[in-house]
A and B are shown apart, each in its own frame.
Chain A
Amino acid sequence: MITILYFARLRETLGTDREQIAPSPEVATVGQLAAWLRARGGAWESELAPEKPVRVAVNQEMASADAPLPDGAEVAFFPPVTGG
């Protein structure tokens, strides 16, 4: 199982802040998870499109598209940060 969190604009547009999923076995990296979510179509397809500036963290560390997804991982999708 993987826990996925969504923040800020993504949370609002996708209409959810958290979900638990058991993706198919071929989903092994951040990039593959994003593609798996995009296959839902609609807002998922447009908001997680590769050209969108979406950032990803795995277990609360920034991660790139080729980062692996450990079992039980907490994966967060969010826009570029704007604090300070």
Chain B
Amino acid sequence: MTVRVQQADFDFGAEIAAFRAGNPRIGAVASFLGLVRDVNDDAAVREMTLEHYPGMTEKALEDIVAEAKTRWDIYDALVIHRVGPLLPCDQIVLVAVSSAHRGEAFAACEFIMDYLKTRAPFWKKEDTPAGARWVDARETDDQAAQRWQKR
């Protein structure tokens, strides 16, 4: 498992190549790449700043990946999340999951993103023409995470 929280950008292709390098058991890699948009809630976004809770963030991400490993038959997972100032079109987050077959990789990747959105301590602040504003948590994100609750 690799979890990284960093200011620097990352190379999507190089990260995926390194993630699966030399492992002939891997038949599938599913990945999610999150990007900064130039609009949110009907306002133009010029810049975004991501704040996090150093220490707890890494721990929360590791816990989420560990939980994914108990639920699905996956080999490994990679999570890279950027912090600090970001511009529209910038990469924010990469989640990649490897497994023998696609179904497990797809499901675990979606699960990790849904839990990251609601449990990992990151906060977005947007710079808009009307001034800076903290992004409010979305109920749809809570609903997405609740789908995975065990009954």
Identify the A interface with B (CB < 8 A). Answer: 5, 7-9, 53, 57, 60-62, 76, 78-84
Contact = CB atoms under 8 A, between A and B. Distances in A.
B123 A83 contact: yes
Contacts of B53: 5, 7, 57, 60, 76, 78
Contacts, number: 71
Contact of A83 (B56, B122, B134, B136): B122
B56 A82 contact: no
A7 B34 CA distance: 23
Contacts of B52: 83
B92 interface: yes
Interface in B7-52: 34, 50-52
B93 interface: yes
The winner among A5, A8, A62 for most chain B CB atoms within 10 A is A8
Given A57-B53, A76-B56, A78-B123, A84 B113 contact: yes
Interface in B102-151: 113, 116-125, 134-138
Nearest to B55: A60
Interface majority SS on B: helix, strand, loop or mixed? mixed
Given A79-B137, A84-B122, 9 more contacts: A9-B123, A57-B121, A61-B59, A62-B119, A81-B117, A81-B119, A83-B117, A83-B120, A83-B124
A76 B123 CA distance: 14
Contact of B121 (A9, A53, A78): A78
Nearest to A76: B53
The list of the 5 closest CB pairs from A to B, nearest first, reads A83-B122, A80-B137, A8-B123, A60-B56, A84-B117
29 contacts: A7-B51, A7-B53, A7-B121, A7-B123, A9-B134, A53-B137, A60-B56, A62-B119, A76-B56, A76-B121, A78-B53, A78-B123, A79-B123, A80-B136, A81-B117, A81-B118, A81-B119, A81-B120, A81-B137, A82-B122, A82-B123, A82-B134, A82-B135, A82-B136, A83-B50, A83-B93, A83-B121, A83-B124, A84-B34
